[in-house]
Chain A
Amino acid sequence: MRVLVTGVAGTLGRIVAMRLVERGYDVIGIDRRPWPGAPESIEMYEHDIRKRTAEDVFRARRPQAAIHMATVTHLVHKSPDRMRVNLYGTRAFIQHCQKYDVKQAIFVGRHTYYGAAADSPLYHTEDEPPMSAHTFPELADLVAADLYASSALWRYPEITTCVLRIVYTLGPSKHGTLASYLKGSTVPVVMGFDPLIHFIHEEDAAEAIVTALSRKLHGVYNVSGPSPVPISTIVRAVGGRPVPVPATLISLGLSRLALPNLPPAAIDHLKYPIVVDSDAFKRATDYQHRYDERETIDAFRAAR
């Protein structure tokens, strides 16, 4: 089976692509970034998913399945074309799937879709609406991309569409939102708050995506690994020191000192948990994560 993977040069994209090759899939990769040293068995195209050249790959190669990972997910990424990449990129992906008769489409989204708020319940289920997109413009485009991809479920019923909302990934690559937050030896936390953080080993996240493909999953599913851990515990476990900063200081705009890379609305993500219920995914696929909370953190720490 021929599988097209967008965003293949990203950390998770690479792991997914390698796994697909191991399982005997023919993998076509598209990314505007290069992947130096990519295995020869992967057919690489250095294109932007929004451009005609990417569409040509769909037309010429006719993949049976496609996985969309070409989204900008970092909270810190503020480039003006972020919204275009996330939203127009997702639209192009879905439309190409429809036009070129792709049987199965997987959109890889994030659990931050649900937003962080003082009064939201722990363990979000898939039917919940995004509650705080309006408070966090930097994430609004991802929420919109997620909803757009979900609309393919009724718009193009002939495609087996699957939207995955995966928790923060962590692992030896040291890449991702959570990993960059944990990078320094001192890590700023919001004084008096200690939210649970839901994370999964990057290998487990990749396995979940491959599982969604092989089980021909249809619908919207949360994906998580071990049960969540408080942020201060994670910081200490990776060998860092949590430095409490009063929320008022951060909201006064002094955050530049303590949290140089975070947009102001990200502070809610350091105060309140986003934890998801992934029972539906586990029931549909028999998926089980391999790395527990300690092993995942140790894998990140060892590479640090």
Chain B
Amino acid sequence: MLDNLLPTDPEVAARVDALDLSFNKFGVDPYGIAKKDLVRSMSVFAWFYRHYFKVDVYGLENVPPRGRAILVGNHSGGVAIDGAMVTGSMLLDAETPRLAHAMLDKFIHHFPGASRLMSRTGQFTGNPEQAMRLLRDDRLLLVFPEGARGTAKLAKDADSLVTFGTGFMRLALETKSPIIPFGFVGGGEALPTVANLKSLGRLLGVPYIPVTKWGLLVPKPTRFQLLYGKPMIFEGSGHERDEVCGAMVEEVRTKIRDLIRQGRQLREKNITEADLVL
């Protein structure tokens, strides 16, 4: 395999070592996360995270260093670069490194290569049973309640929010997990999508094919702003009526909108870090 030839980053290896995971005699945790594959893939990713892109992360201290929690934020940009950057910040920047388990769209595990990589790094197709199990095991979940409709926002709408699903809130209530809202800014600049080809996408088994200003699906080097807000804790059973649950979701959505607004202000240098209210 080609990935065997890539160098590993000793700092990444040390951070993977510090993860709160128990690996068996083959270096695999009960969810199939392979230490070796995690170090290799994150070593490559770390270069992109630190040099090709640049992520200004604020409020990392708001993410609990251990125990169950759900990171909930916005999609910004035609593909989920935001998800990769959030995962990166948790593993590479957080004081206590954590592995975020993203809840993926169904199509990803249908693709050769992608399926293998995602399986070995703890990234599963999002479904309630999987999410519930990970939270009960005190893992960190990463959820984009906008789903594929969120990545489908065109560049001009990158800072806006489409409607949120309520699944994450019911999970949080049922497992008593804190929600850590985050806002992500800059995805629209990295990958300025001007159109989405839905029929071609369907043909290829993906929700759509994004088309950027320069045609190709190659992001340009960009600086991102990623802001983690204070944990939000909601009380309930997870079996509330839709109106009740919807009101709680709206509270999270409002918070995320505010984090995006502050991130945009920072990006345009209208405010400084000292002005942030996370």
A residues apposed to B, CB below 8 Å: 118-123, 125, 190-196, 226-230, 233, 237, 246-247, 271-273, 292-294
The answer to whether B112 touches A247, judged by C-beta atoms less than 8 angstroms apart, is: yes
> Of A196, A271, A292, which contacts B32 at CB under 8 A?
A196
Q: Are B109 and A122 in contact (CB under 8 A)?
A: no
Q: A122-B31, A193-B115, A272-B109 are in contact. Are A226 and B124 (CB under 8 A)?
A: no
Q: Are B28 and A233 in contact, CB atoms less than 8 angstroms apart?
A: yes
User: With a CB–CB cut-off of 8 A, which chain A residues contact B8?
Assistant: none
Would you call A121 and B124 a contact (CB within 8 A)?
A: yes
Name which residue of chain A comes closest to B131, CB basis. Answer: A121
Q: By the criterion CB–CB under 8 Å, are A119 and B133 in contact? A: no
Q: Please report which residues of chain B, range 5-40, place their CB below 8 angstroms from some CB of chain A when the two chains form the complex.
A: 24-26, 28-32, 34
Least Cβ–Cβ distance between A189 and chain B, in angstroms: 10
Contact between chains at A194 and B112 (CB < 8 Å): no
| Complex CA distance for A169 and B111, rounded to whole angstroms | 29
- Inside 8 A of A293's CB, which chain B residues have their CB? 24-26
Q: Are A230 and B111 in contact (CB under 8 A)?
A: no
Known contacts A121-B127, A196-B32: A227-B115 contact under CB 8 Å? no
A34→B30 CA distance, assembly (Å): 40
Give the residue name and chain of the B residue nearest to A234 (CB). B26
Tally of chain B residues near chain A (CB < 8 A): 26
- Give the 9 A-B CB pairs with smallest separation, nearest first: A192-B112, A121-B130, A118-B109, A121-B129, A192-B113, A294-B25, A227-B30, A119-B125, A196-B32
**B110 on the A face (CB < 8 A):** yes
User: What's the nearest-Cβ distance from chain B to residue A270, in Å?
Assistant: 11
Q: Which of A119, A123, A229, A273 has the most C-beta atoms of chain B within 10 angstroms of its own C-beta?
A: A119
Please state if B120 and A230 are interface contacts (CB–CB under 8 Å): yes
Identity of the chain B residue whose Cβ is nearest the Cβ of A271 in the assembled complex: B115
Q: What residues of chain B lie closer than 8 Å to A118, measured between beta carbons?
A: 106, 109-110, 115, 125
9 CB-based A-B contacts, threshold 8 Å? A122-B124, A125-B129, A192-B112, A192-B114, A195-B119, A226-B24, A227-B28, A227-B29, A230-B32
Q: How many pairs of A and B residues are in contact by the CB < 8 Å rule? A: 76
Would A227 and B24 count as touching, CB distance under 8 A? yes
Partner of A237, one of B26, B31, B106, B112: B26
Q: How far apart sit A120 and B25, CA to CA, in the bound complex (Å)?
A: 26
Given A119-B127, A233-B26, A292-B24, CB of A190 within 8 Å of CB of B34: no
Q: Smallest distance from the beta carbon of A259 to chain B beta carbons, Å?
A: 16
B116 at the interface (CB under 8 A from A): yes
Question: Bound complex: CA of A122 vs CA of B119, how far in Å?
Answer: 10
Q: Which chain A residue has the least Cβ–Cβ distance from B114?
A: A192
CB contacts (< 8 Å) of A294 on chain B: these are 25-26
Contacts of B30 in A (CB 8 A): 227-228
For B124, the chain A residues whose CB sits under 8 A away are 121-122
Minimum C-beta distance from B40 to chain A (A): 14
Bound complex: CA A88 to CA B28 (Å): 41
Inter-chain contacts of B115 with A (CB < 8 A) = 118, 192-194, 271-272
Question: B28: which A residues are within 8 A, CB to CB?
Answer: 196, 227-230, 233
Shortest CB-to-CB span from B101 to chain A, Å, is 11
User: What is the CB-to-nearest-CB distance from B38 to chain A, in angstroms, rounded to a whole number?
Assistant: 13
**What CA separation (Å) do A55 and B48 show in the bound complex?**
70
Q: In the complex, A272 Cα to B34 Cα: how many Å?
A: 16
Contacting residues, chain B, for A237 (C-beta < 8 A):
26
A248 to chain B, nearest CB (A): 9
Q: Residue B116 contacts which of A120, A194, A233 (CB distance < 8 angstroms)?
A: A194
Q: Which residues of A contact B31 (CB under 8 A)?
A: 122
Determine the distance from Cα of A246 to Cα of B111 in the docked complex, in whole angstroms.
11
A192's partner among B24, B29, B116 (CB-CB below 8 A) is B116
**Bound state CA distance, A195 and B31, in angstroms?**
11
Cβ of B164 to closest chain A Cβ, rounded Å: 21
A230 CB contact (under 8 Å) in B25, B34, B112, B125: B34
Report the minimum CB–CB distance from A268 to chain B (whole Å). 11
User: Smallest distance from the beta carbon of A166 to chain B beta carbons, Å?
Assistant: 18
Q: Are A273 and B106 in contact (CB under 8 A)?
A: no
Among B26, B124, B130, the one with the most A-chain Cβ atoms within 10 Å of its Cβ is: B26
* A121 and B109 contact, CB distance less than 8 A: no
**Cα A226 to Cα B28 with chains together (Å):** 11
Given contacts A122-B32, A122-B124, contact A192 B25 (CB under 8 A): no
